[in-house]
Amino acid sequence: MQQKKKTEQERVAGCPCPDCHREHSFQEGDARTHCLELMRLLEQEKRIDLLAQRGEADPQLSTASLFGEARGKMFGVLVCRDANDCKRILRAFSGQYNGAWEVEGWAPPLFNVGVFTRIYADIEPRIKELGRTLQLTDLHSPQWTDLTRQRRKLSQQWIQEIHVLYTLTNFRGQQRSLIDAFAGSGGIPTGTGDCCAPKLFNQAVKENLTPLGLAEFYWGRENASQTRQHGQFYPSCASKCAPILGFMLCGLDELLLQAGK
């Protein structure tokens, strides 16, 4: 049983690449050791802006919120080698942290935050306004039906515009939008591209690093469905990560072979 759990944790991708049609996977390596060190730091500092002096720490980046109503989130570590064969440790948190997409010392998102913010500021208030109007409208009346249609259409437009912003780059230097890279069935789940693994692999590509091992863990209050527990390790998710990691990992096998890893 323990061996099966270990194998599941090591395997971070199981979808074929839409370009080469081969299935790509990646191993844990010694990343778990570095995750344990990160856990120690989070426990000790109780914040994620670990590069800031204690007196300059941002209250919004405290870990206290992870143990409250907002609940916890996933953190990940990617062990890499640079061009000089020196070890590099990359870190990522899933999604945004108390509204912040970018925190020094952590992998950035796969999109331009400025453009994302402008789109959000333009469409999100309109969706909320339609929602408020719907609450004051007779249920299933012609007006209610029309408002519901408008809100659905606006939400779909918003999601599509956001998905186009995501740029995924693989280890062959090829780039695709999230829409073109997604190899799963059905629609693209909300939050796809915001998990730790895609952020980490994307940063590795951008910084010309060779990944050697990946591990991810959950930190904070258990999630609502109780499928994530504090301090436990979990593999990359099958619904959001695997369908894009097939593309993102393409070319890494050859890179590791050249490096003799």
pLDDT tens for 73-129 read: 999 999 999 999 999 999 999 999 999 999 999 999 999 999 999 998 999 999 999
Mean pLDDT computed over 172-196? 92
**Which of 141, 165, 189 is the endpoint of a domain?**
165
Domain that holds residue 133: 112-165
pLDDT score, position 240: 93
- 210 and 88 in a common domain: yes
Distance of CA 206 to the CA centre of its chain: 16
For residue 147 the two structure tokens come to 């408002």
Q: What is the CA radius of gyration of the chain?
A: 20
Is residue 147 domain-shared with residue 213, that is, in the same domain?
no
Residue 24 scores a pLDDT above 60:
yes
* Co-location of 160 and 173 in the same domain: no
Which of 15-29, 74-88, 145-159 is predicted with the least confidence, judged by mean pLDDT? Answer: 15-29
Task: Provide the pLDDT confidence category of residue 2 given band limits of 50, 70 and 90.
Answer: very low
Q: How many structural domains are present in the chain? A: 2
- CA dist 161 and 176 (Å) reads 15
pLDDT at 19: 86
The closest alpha carbon to 77, from 170, 166, 201, belongs to: 201
Please tell me the predicted confidence (pLDDT) of residue 7. Answer: 44
Mean of the pLDDT values across residues 141-153? Answer: 94
Contact 61/47 with Cβ under 8 angstroms?
yes
Q: Is the pLDDT of residue 169 over 60?
A: yes
Average pLDDT score, the chain: 91
| Residues 37, 94 within the same domain | yes
- Shared domain for 218 and 247, answered yes or no, is yes
Amino acid 55: pLDDT:
87
Mean pLDDT along residues 221-248: 94
77 plus 140 within the same structural domain: no
Q: Where are the beta strands (DSSP E) in the chain?
A: 73-81, 87-93, 167-169, 175-177, 210-219
Torsion of the alpha carbons at 251, 254, 259 and 261, rounded to the nearest 10: 100
Type of residue at 212: L
Report d(CA 110, CA 223) in Å as an integer. Answer: 24
* 79's tokens: 């062990």
Label residue 16 by pLDDT band (50, 70, 90).
Answer: confident
Do 118 and 76 lie in a common domain?
no
The average pLDDT across 48-75 equals 94
pLDDT higher than 50, residue 223? yes
Shared domain for 86 and 211, answered yes or no, is yes
pLDDT tier for residue 255 given thresholds of 50, 70 and 90: confident
Instruction: Please say if the pLDDT value at position 261 is more than 70.
Output: no
| pLDDT tens digits, one per residue of 63-75 | 999 999 999 999 9
Q: Given 147, 165, 183, which residue is the final one in a domain? A: 165
Residues 180 and 69 in one domain: yes
Least confident of 74-83, 181-190, 193-202: 181-190
Residues 33 and 65 reside in one and the same domain: yes
Residue 186's pLDDT is 82
- For residue 13, what pLDDT is reported? 55
Residue 204: which pLDDT band, with cuts at 50, 70 and 90?
very high
Domain termination site, one of 102, 133, 165? 165
Same domain, 72 and 86: yes
User: Are residues 128 and 232 both part of a single domain?
Assistant: no
